[in-house]
Structure 1
Amino acid sequence: MFAYELQQARHADLLREADAQRLANVARAARKARRALARRSGHNAPEGQVNTDHGRFATAA
């Protein structure tokens, strides 16, 4: 009976691990999609908004 209980506990652990991995994959895919959407909409694009803070660096001599 003890071996059966160990098997049941291990099975439950594996199900929890699989569920956690599935949730991580969904979050990773959502983050990737959000970045792709931002890239398509012009945010963080190389041709995007220019920083206009001219006082940030001193002029060269």
Structure 2
Amino acid sequence: MFDYELHQLRSADLRRRAAHERLVRAVLRGGRAGRRPAGPETPEAESHTEHPRRHRFTRAA
């Protein structure tokens, strides 16, 4: 029975931590969105280089 209670406590703790991390990410995302002007035509939305964007992985044959 003791092991089951430890499992329940650990599970509840992990759920709390995950909820907190989701909340932090949402707040940070909202803060970034608030600083950015709306619209794709803003200079910040454009790339700072003239090079085309490369894909992370190579194409499969």
TM range (shorter): 0.5 to 0.7
Query: Relative to 1, partners in 2 of residues 1:11 and 1:46: Cα closer, same or farther, differing over 3 Å?
Result: same
Aligned length: 50
Query: What are the Cα deviations for residues 12-54 of structure 1, in whole angstroms up to 9, with x where unaligned?
Result: 10000100110011001000100000000117x4354123544
Relative contact order, higher structure (CA 8 A, sep 6+):
2
Q: Structure 1 length as normaliser, TM-score?
A: 0.64
Name the one with the larger helix percent.
Answer: 1
Q: Which runs of 5+ in 1 are unaligned?
A: 1-6, 57-61
Name the TM-score, length of structure 2 as normaliser. 0.64
Bigger Rg over Cα:
1
Large movers: runs of 4+ above 6 Å: none
